[in-house]
Structures are given as C-alpha cells and as structure tokens.
Amino acid sequence: MSGKKVGLEYDPESGRLRGYVKGIRGLVEIDTDLSYYTERDLEILQIEVYVMCGGGMLGHFAMTQPADFYIDSRTGRLPYRKRDIYNAVEMLKGLAIKLGKDPHNLPEPKIVNPWVW
C-alpha cells in the first residue's frame, strides 16, 4: 500500500474523480466519471454535504465553498467521519468544476424546512 494516498481528487483533463478511500477491508480505489451528472445532482449533493456536516455554519461553508473547505481542529463531534465529509466535499468540488460553476462561490440551494433535521 505504499505510495497510495487516501483522498479524492478531480482530474479536469479526463473529467474523472480519482483516488483512494478507506473501506471495510482496506483501501478502495475510486475512479468515477462525472460526465452524466446534472445541475440538479449538484444541488442534491450540496444538501447532502450540508447534512453530513450537521448543518450550521460548517455545513453552509461546505456546500457553498467546497474548494476552500476545511474542518477546524477545534470542531466538536460531527455526524459523519471527517474523511467521509472530505470525500463528499471533494466530489462536490469536482462536479462544480465539471459543470462550469465556481467552486469557491456556489449558489445556495433552496432547502425547505431545514430545522426538521
């Protein structure tokens, strides 16, 4: 497993999301084509990332600025593991680039009744 780095990165030349994530039995290689995703998928993924962060300021930061996103070391307990959140945010960033959106300033999707979560 030497030389394999955990994490996902978007390759703009090929339009693919590549990298390694930790699975049940070790590292799993990911190589996903993002060409069939639409803007609606981008909005849905933004909401999913918001929920993964537990909402609030961190969730808003993740869904509107995935290229600049980080989790501060002072952050308390999150609903999902940090590496899972980072992988989802990386996919959001890659999808935004693929669709020609600015990953530093994505429009906020309409979330109906977010206080229910």
Q: Is residue 13 part of a domain?
A: no
Q: Is residue 3 part of a domain?
A: no
Distance, CA of 70 to chain centre = 11
Q: Is residue 29 part of a domain?
A: no
Give the pLDDT of residue 29.
Answer: 85
Give the pLDDT of residue 12.
Answer: 83
User: pLDDT tens digit string along 51-84?
Assistant: 999 988 999 999 999 999 999 988 889 999 998 9
Q: Is residue 55 part of a domain?
A: yes
Q: Is residue 93 part of a domain?
A: yes
Give the pLDDT of residue 116.
Answer: 56
Q: Is residue 68 part of a domain?
A: yes
Domain span at residue 90 reads 36-116
Give the pLDDT of residue 115.
Answer: 64
Nearest Cα neighbor of 66 from 52, 79, 49, 44 is 49
Q: Is residue 64 part of a domain?
A: yes
pTM check: above 0.85: no
Q: Is residue 95 part of a domain?
A: yes
Average pLDDT per consecutive 10 residues, the chain (117 residues; last block may be shorter): 72 85 78 88 94 92 94 91 90 90 93 66
Per the structure block, which two tokens stand in for 41?
């998928």
The number of folded domains in the chain is: 1
